[in-house]
């Protein structure tokens, strides 16, 4: 058994004999079950299927997975992003005046959502891990769609706070849960591209939301309702329909398909290969698929969880949420009407979606997670700096608008790579689900609460606090932790490279190595 068969992306043990776990490829030789000495029969079966699916059959399987998972999760995330951020659009349609809220109360209500949103992210991911996506996701989607619909009945500040708290509770599971679902179906080298396509729905939500808001703006005072009421009603009903459809479109986790649960969208061989290829993507000693609370605790104690949390918090949530809530107002401040400002928020988000998918593909293509993330941070930083400078000069509104493109693209592109990097370097599924939930707990509570309160209306249009905090958060809170994370894992890989493989195999059984997960001396971190 070669140590290289346990290596993760970017590992280097023996270049002549290395098994590249990230590509899940094996030598093109005929392999029969039971002839691989030292491996379990299930792993032998995986090698046979890996050989049989090499080429067109694997492409066909990936296409089936892509067309089943990505559109479904992306549409749900689109609804999630719309229902969470449509407050910024409603604000331009007289929401504050009709409900009797001050701008400060409005910002506080936006912030309160993230308390329940963050607290329920790890809870929801644990429930998802135990129940499975086919039942858990439709439940939470229909729940938050109903709450969004009821927002049109809000009459005062207290009722809006209650709505936002419930919305955070029900929406919490979609984002971290989707990342976890994708990590259960795709191998490490396929993950960043798919996460980027999925996350593109978040940036597309800005574009889609602007289009809906533009259309809904023309319904103002129709049937005696203000436009903001129509906005919440229409988007909420669309979400409910999407939740019902999710029950029919989302599959179970691969390992949940057994004698009791079957499927028709994959052939028996395709389903078997789909289950085994992610289980044995990093070698013959897979982690356990049994849910254990000890794995949740392990995630809570892991340094990697908190370094990734810093990146998600300060490099993602703070600038992304602040832009999401402020962009319509920011564009309006450039001299456009409220309705036209809604329409002009669309192009930056379309551009951001394209850049997000491109960076995800490059990250998978060249297997360089750290450099992909840092490139995204730098792009977002350049956009924020240009925007901060040019908003002081009204005659440079075109340059300011261009800077919005860069900021939206950079801060959107980092998110799927952070998720992929986390998934690549945490092997145990239960620990991975918990780690994603925990890092997003702090990231959502901290990022959402800060991001919704740093672009103060009284500081428009220059927003010194908002721009200054976004720049500081990106450099100090995200780029430095990312560098530390990369350096520590790089050092760990080098330390493991000099270990004697035979001594490791003599000391530990395959089961013990599998139980160790990424702590195994044969595992190599993705850099």
| 367-390 pLDDT tens trace | 899 999 999 999 999 999 998 898
Domain boundaries, the chain: 68-280+292-495
Instruction: Answer whether 6's CB lies under 8 Å from 21's CB.
Output: yes
Q: pLDDT by residue (tens digit) across 77-94?
A: 888 877 766 777 788 788
Q: How many C-beta atoms surround the C-beta of residue 297 within 10 A?
A: 12
What would the mean pLDDT of 445-469 be, rounded to a whole number?
81
The CA-to-CA distance between both ends of the chain, in Å, stands at 24
The mean-pLDDT minimum among 2-16, 104-118, 466-480 falls in 2-16
Tokens for 330, please give them. 């920011």
C-alpha 81/C-alpha 75 separation (Å) is 10
Q: pLDDT by residue (tens digit) across 114-172?
A: 788 888 888 898 899 889 999 999 999 999 999 999 999 999 999 999 999 999 999 98
- Taking CA 247 as the corner, what is the angle to CA 244 and CA 249, rounded to the nearest 5 degrees? 110
pLDDT of residue 13: 37
For residue 437, give the nearest of 78, 118, 143 by alpha carbon.
118
Q: pLDDT by residue (tens digit) across 241-253?
A: 999 999 999 999 9
Burial of 497 (C-beta count, 10 Å sphere; 0-12/13-18/19+): middle
Q: How many C-beta atoms surround the C-beta of residue 218 within 10 A?
A: 10
C-alpha 374/C-alpha 414 separation (Å) is 8
C-alpha 160/C-alpha 129 separation (Å) is 32
Q: For 81-120, give the DSSP string.
A: HHHHHTHHHHHTTTHHHHHT--HHHHHHHHHHHHHHHHHH
C-alpha 317/C-alpha 208 separation (Å) is 20
Q: 58 in the Ramachandran plot: left (φ > 0), alpha (ψ -120 to 50) or beta?
A: alpha
Q: Quick one: DSSP state of residue 263? A: -
For residue 343, give the nearest of 200, 207, 203, 205 by alpha carbon.
207
For residue 243, give the nearest of 96, 169, 121, 145 by alpha carbon.
145
Q: How many residues does the chain have?
A: 527
For residue 527, give the nearest of 476, 474, 468, 486 by alpha carbon.
486
Instruction: Answer whether 173's CB lies under 8 Å from 511's CB.
Output: no
pLDDT above 70: residue 37: no
Q: 14 in the Ramachandran plot: left (φ > 0), alpha (ψ -120 to 50) or beta?
A: beta
User: Phi/psi of residue 525, each to 5°?
Assistant: -70, 145
Burial of 57 (C-beta count, 10 Å sphere; 0-12/13-18/19+): middle
pLDDT of residue 85: 67
pLDDT of residue 210: 67
Q: Give residue for tokens 């988000």.
A: 349
* Domain 68-280+292-495 coded CATH 1.10.3720.10: no
Question: What is the reported pTM?
Answer: 0.75
Tokens for 34, please give them. 């039971």
Radius of gyration of the chain (CA): 24
pLDDT of residue 39: 55
C-alpha 330/C-alpha 45 separation (Å) is 57
For residue 328, how far is the Cα from the chain centroid?
24
pLDDT of residue 446: 72
Q: For 211-235, give the DSSP string.
A: HHHHHHHTTTTGGG--HHHHHHHHH
Q: Name all contacts of 468-473 with Cβ < 8 Å and 24+ positions apart.
A: 468/388, 469/318, 470/318, 470/319, 470/322, 470/384, 471/381, 471/384, 471/385, 471/388, 473/314, 473/315, 473/318, 473/319
pLDDT of residue 10: 41
Helix axes 303-312, 480-497, angle to 10 degrees: 150
DSSP H or E run through 489: helix 480-497
pLDDT of residue 32: 38
Q: pLDDT by residue (tens digit) across 56-70?
A: 999 999 999 999 999
pLDDT above 50: residue 503: yes
The mean-pLDDT minimum among 194-203, 405-414, 479-488, 501-510 falls in 194-203
C-alpha 274/C-alpha 46 separation (Å) is 10
C-alpha 391/C-alpha 173 separation (Å) is 37
What would the mean pLDDT of 32-46 be, rounded to a whole number?
63
What share of the chain has pLDDT > 90, as a percent? 33
For residue 437, how far is the Cα from the chain centroid?
11
Instruction: Answer whether 326's CB lies under 8 Å from 391's CB.
Output: no
Q: Give residue for tokens 């998978």.
A: 364
Q: What pLDDT band is residue 221 in, cutting at 50, 70 and 90?
A: confident
For residue 247, how far is the Cα from the chain centroid?
21
Q: Quick one: DSSP state of residue 132? A: -
pLDDT of residue 460: 79
């Amino acid at each position: 058994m070669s140590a290289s068969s346990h290596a993760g992306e970017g590992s280097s043990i023996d270049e002549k004999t290395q098994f590249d776990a990230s590509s899940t490829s094996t030598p093109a030789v005929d392999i029969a079950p039971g002839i691989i000495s030292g491996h379990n029969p299930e792993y032998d079966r995986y090698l046979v299927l890996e050989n049989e699916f090499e080429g067109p059959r694997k492409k066909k399987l990936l296409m089936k997975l892509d067309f089943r998972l990505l559109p479904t999760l992306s549409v749900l995330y689109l609804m999630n992003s719309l229902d969470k951020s449509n407050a910024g659009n409603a604000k331009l349609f007289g929401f504050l005046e009709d409900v009797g809220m001050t701008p400060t109360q409005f910002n506080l209500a936006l912030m309160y959502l993230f308390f329940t949103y963050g607290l329920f992210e790890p809870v929801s991911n644990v429930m998802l891990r135990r129940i499975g996506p086919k039942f858990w996701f439709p439940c939470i989607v229909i729940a938050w769609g109903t709450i969004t619909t009821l927002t049109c009945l809000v009459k005062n500040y207290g009722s809006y706070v209650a709505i936002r708290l419930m919305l955070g509770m029900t929406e919490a599971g979609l984002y971290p849960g989707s990342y976890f679902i994708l990590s259960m179906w795709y191998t490490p080298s396929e993950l960043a591209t798919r996460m980027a396509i999925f996350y593109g729905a978040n940036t597309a939500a800005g574009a889609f939301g602007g289009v809906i808001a533009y259309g809904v703006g023309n319904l103002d005072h129709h049937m005696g309702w203000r436009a903001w009421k129509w906005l919440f009603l229409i988007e909420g009903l669309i979400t409910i329909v999407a939740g019902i459809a999710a029950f029919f479109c989302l599959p179970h986790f691969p390992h949940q398909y057994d004698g009791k649960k079957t499927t028709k969208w994959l052939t028996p061989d395709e389903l078997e290969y789909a289950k085994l290829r992610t289980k044995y993507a990093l070698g013959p000693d897979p982690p356990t698929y049994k849910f254990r609370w000890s794995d949740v605790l392990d995630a809570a104690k892991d340094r990697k969880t908190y370094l990734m949390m810093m990146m998600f918090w300060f490099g993602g949530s703070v600038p992304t949420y602040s832009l999401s809530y402020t962009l319509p107002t920011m564009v309006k401040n450039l001299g456009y009407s409220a309705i036209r400002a809604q329409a002009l928020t669309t192009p930056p988000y379309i551009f951001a979606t394209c850049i997000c998918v491109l960076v995800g593909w490059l990250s998978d293509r060249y297997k360089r997670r750290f450099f992909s993330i840092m490139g995204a941070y730098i792009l977002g930083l350049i956009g924020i700096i240009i925007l901060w400078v040019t908003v002081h000069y009204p005659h440079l509104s075109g340059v300011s608008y261009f800077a919005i493109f860069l900021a939206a693209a950079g801060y959107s592109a980092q998110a799927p790579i952070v998720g992929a990097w986390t998934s690549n370097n945490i092997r145990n599924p239960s620990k991975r689900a918990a780690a994603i939930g925990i890092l997003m707990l702090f990231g959502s509570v901290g990022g959402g609460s800060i991001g919704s309160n740093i672009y103060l209306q009284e500081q428009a249009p220059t927003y010194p606090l908002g721009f200054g905090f976004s720049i500081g958060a990106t450099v100090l809170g995200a780029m430095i932790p990312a560098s530390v994370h990369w350096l520590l894992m790089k050092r760990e890989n080098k330390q493991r490279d000099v270990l004697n493989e035979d001594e490791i195999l003599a000391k530990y059984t395959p089961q013990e190595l599998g139980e160790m997960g990424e702590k195994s001396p044969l595992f190599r971190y993705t850099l």
